[in-house]
Amino acid sequence: MNKPLGYLREIISNYTDRSSTAKNIYARIENKEYDSEELFVRDLSEEEINFLDKILPDEINHAKEENDETRAHNLNEVFEQLF
């Protein structure tokens, strides 16, 4: 699995119990093999992009606060592809 998408899958799992959009994104990552973050983002709906746009900045900041630069960098790789 693409490493940034692996990190994204991990954080999205924290939202699946309260968001159908998160469930859809999680299922997309689980069920389809993406070679890049760009290909993954191209496959997202506008609603899914907006969802990620809302949660990723906080998740990236949280990773930085925890001194997990690898996680922050990989999540940022996905975030940069959103727009």
Best CA proximity match to 32, nearest among 20, 21, 44, 40: 40
pLDDT tens by residue, 13-69:
999 999 999 999 999 999 999 999 999 999 999 999 999 999 999 999 999 999 999
What is the per-residue pLDDT for 52? 98
Total tally of structural domains belonging to the chain: 1
Q: Report d(CA 74, CA 70) in Å as an integer.
A: 6
Contact 23, 12 (CB under 8 A): no
Q: What is the pTM of this model?
A: 0.93
User: Could you list the residue range(s) of the whole structural domain that residue 26 is in?
Assistant: 3-79
What is the per-residue pLDDT for 83? 84
